[in-house]
Chain A
Amino acid sequence: MLKDLFTKNKKKKYATIPSDRDQQDVPEGLMTKCSGCKKIMYTKELQKNNKVCLHCGYHHQMTAYERIESLFEPGSFIEIDRNMLSVNPLGFPEYLEKLEKDKQKASMNEAVVTGTGKIEGYDVSVAIMDSHFRMGSMGSVVGEKITRAIEKAGELRIPFIIFTASGGARMQEGILSLMQMAKTSAALKMFSENGGLIISIMTHPTTGGVSASFASLGDINLAEPGALIGFAGRRIIEQTIHEELPEDFQTAEFLLKHGQLDAVISRTELKEKLVNILKIHVPGGEWV
Chain B
Amino acid sequence: MIGDLEFERPITDLRKKIDELKELTKTADVDLTAEIQKLEKRLENLQDDIYKNMKPWDRVQVARHPNRPTTLDYIPQVFSDFLELHGDRYFGDDEAIVAGIATFEGIPVTVIGHQRGKDTKENIRRNFGMPHPEGYRKALRLMKQAEKFGRPVICFIDTKGAFPGKAAEERGQSEAIAKNIFEMAGLKVPIICIVIGEGGSGGALALGVGDRILMLENSTYSVISPEGAAALLWKDASQAKRAAETMKITAQDLLGLGIVDEIIPEAKGGAHKNDLKDQATAIKDSLKHSLNELLPLSTSEIVEQRYTKYKKIGKYEIEEERNLDRIKSV
Contact = CB atoms under 8 A, between A and B. Distances in A.
A230 B202 CA distance: 13
B316 A140 contact: yes
Interface string B198-222: 0001100110110000000000011
A45 B321 CA distance: 35
Contacts of B166: 237, 241, 243, 245, 249
B182 A178 contact: no
Given A107-B328, A179-B259, A231-B173, A85 B318 contact: yes
A40 interface: no
Contact of A183 (B314, B327, B330): B314
A33 B329 CA distance: 28
Given A182-B181, A231-B173, A175 B314 contact: no
A89 B257 contact: yes
Contact of B330 (A65, A189, A212, A230): A65
Interface string B302-330: 00001100110111111111011011111
A180 interface: yes
Interface stretch (B28-36, B76-84, B246-254): B246-254
Interface size classification for chain A: 35 or more
Contacts of A102: none
A190 B186 contact: yes
Contacts of B221: 175
A174 B223 contact: yes
A230 B310 contact: no
A181 B205 contact: yes
B181 A83 contact: no
Given A85-B317, A143-B314, A230-B169, A107 B326 contact: yes
A220 B315 CA distance: 31
Interface string A225-249: 0000111110011001101010001
Contacts of A213: 177-178, 181-182, 202
Contact of A237 (B169, B206, B306, B313): B169
Contacts of B257: 89, 175-176
A82 B325 CA distance: 11
Nearest to A232: B164
A84 B181 contact: no
Contacts of A62: none
A118 interface: no
B186 A189 contact: yes
Contacts of B185: 182, 185-186, 189-190
Contact of B310 (A82, A186, A245): A186
Interface in B286-306: 306
Interface string A68-91: 110010000101001111110110
A209 interface: yes
A13 interface: no
Contacts of A193: 186
Contacts of A260: 172, 174-175
Given A87-B316, A212-B177, A258-B171, 13 more contacts: A85-B316, A174-B247, A175-B248, A181-B202, A183-B314, A190-B307, A193-B186, A213-B178, A231-B169, A240-B164, A249-B169, A258-B170, A260-B175
19 contacts: A82-B324, A89-B257, A109-B327, A140-B313, A141-B314, A175-B247, A175-B253, A178-B202, A186-B209, A186-B310, A189-B185, A211-B174, A212-B178, A212-B206, A217-B178, A232-B162, A232-B165, A237-B166, A258-B170
Interface of B: 162-166, 168-175, 177-179, 181-183, 185-186, 201-202, 205-206, 208-209, 221-224, 229, 232-233, 246-249, 253-254, 257, 259, 306-307, 310-311, 313-321, 323-324, 326-330
